[in-house]
Amino acid sequence: MLNPSEITLHQQSKLLEIAFDNGSRYRLPYEFLRVHSPSAAVRGHGPSQAVLQVGKQNVNVTDIQPVGSYAIKVTFDDGHNTGLYSWDYLNELGKYQDALWNEYLCKLAEAGESRVPHHPDDALDKSGK
Identify the segments of the chain with pLDDT beneath 50: 122-129
Please report the domains of the chain, with CATH numbers, ordered by start residue. 4-114 (3.30.2020.30)
Length of the chain: 129
Sheet containing 15-20: which strands, arranged edge to edge?
A: 4-10, 15-20, 25-29
CA–CA gap between residue 73 and residue 75 (Å, rounded): 7
Fill in the DSSP letter of residue 23: S
Can you give the pLDDT at residue 47?
75
Considering the entire predicted model, what is its pTM?
0.89
How far apart (Å, rounded) are the C-alpha atoms in residues 63 and 74? 6
Partners of 25 in the β-ladder: 19
Nearest-angstrom CA–CA distance, 113 and 50: 15
Q: How are beta strands 84-86 and 71-76 bridged, if at all?
A: antiparallel
At 105-128, the pLDDT tens digits run: 999 999 999 999 876 554 444 334
Give the pLDDT of residue 44: 87
Q: What are phi and psi of 37, to 5 degrees?
A: -55, 140
pLDDT number for residue 75? 97
